[in-house]
């Protein structure tokens, strides 16, 4: 593994681990992101979106070891962070969980785009 990819791989592993949480423990994942699934379809949505999607995104980066794969995953995390910043401004959501989410998502995005933007 190239040394420049170490930080990006950390981001990919964390993405995968968060996905495994959503896939296998959807109630814990829902509580972590402050949502409540409605019925079986709600649990299925958590398993799919917070689970399968994140697992696939993280594993694709780990397997590909390609800067562009890490870039796409990083862009997704950074996009989530921008959405939270927008919520903080428009919805006036200054809750500590939202601010923490901004930092987590911006941090994950930065780790993943590091090889492309900072090398």
Q: Residue 103 pLDDT more than 90?
A: yes
The dihedrals phi and psi of 92, each to the nearest 5 degrees, come to: 55, 45
Query: Is 34 contained in some domain?
Result: yes
Query: Is 11 contained in some domain?
Result: yes
- Greater model confidence, 90 or 114: 90
Q: What is the spatial distance between Cα 15 and Cα 20, in angstroms, rounded to a whole number?
A: 9
Query: Is 81 contained in some domain?
Result: yes
Query: Is 116 contained in some domain?
Result: no
Domain that holds residue 35: 3-111
Which residues 6+ apart lie within 8 Å of 86 measured at CB?
none
pLDDT reported for residue 115? 86
Query: Is 119 contained in some domain?
Result: no
State the pTM of this model: 0.92
Query: Is 118 contained in some domain?
Result: no
Overall average pLDDT of the 27-55 stretch: 95
Query: Is 117 contained in some domain?
Result: no
Query: Is 41 contained in some domain?
Result: yes
Give me the number of domains the chain comprises: 1
pLDDT reported for residue 118? 75
Three-state secondary structure readout of 48-114: HHHHHHHHHHHHHHHHHCCHHHHHHHHHHHHHHHHHHHHHHHHCCCCCHHHHHHHHHHHHHHHHHHH
């Amino acid at each position: 593994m190239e040394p420049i990819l170490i930080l990006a791989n950390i981001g990919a592993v964390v993405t995968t681990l968060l996905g495994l949480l959503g896939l296998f423990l959807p109630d814990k994942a829902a509580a972590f992101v402050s949502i409540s699934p409605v019925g079986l379809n709600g649990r299925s949505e958590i398993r799919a979106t917070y689970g399968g999607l994140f697992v696939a995104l993280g594993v694709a980066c780990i397997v590909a070891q390609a800067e562009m794969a890490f870039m796409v995953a990083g862009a997704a995390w950074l996009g989530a962070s921008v959405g939270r910043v927008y919520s903080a401004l428009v919805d006036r959501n200054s809750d500590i969980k939202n601010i923490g989410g901004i930092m987590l998502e911006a941090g994950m995005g930065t780790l993943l785009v590091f090889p492309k933007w900072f090398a």
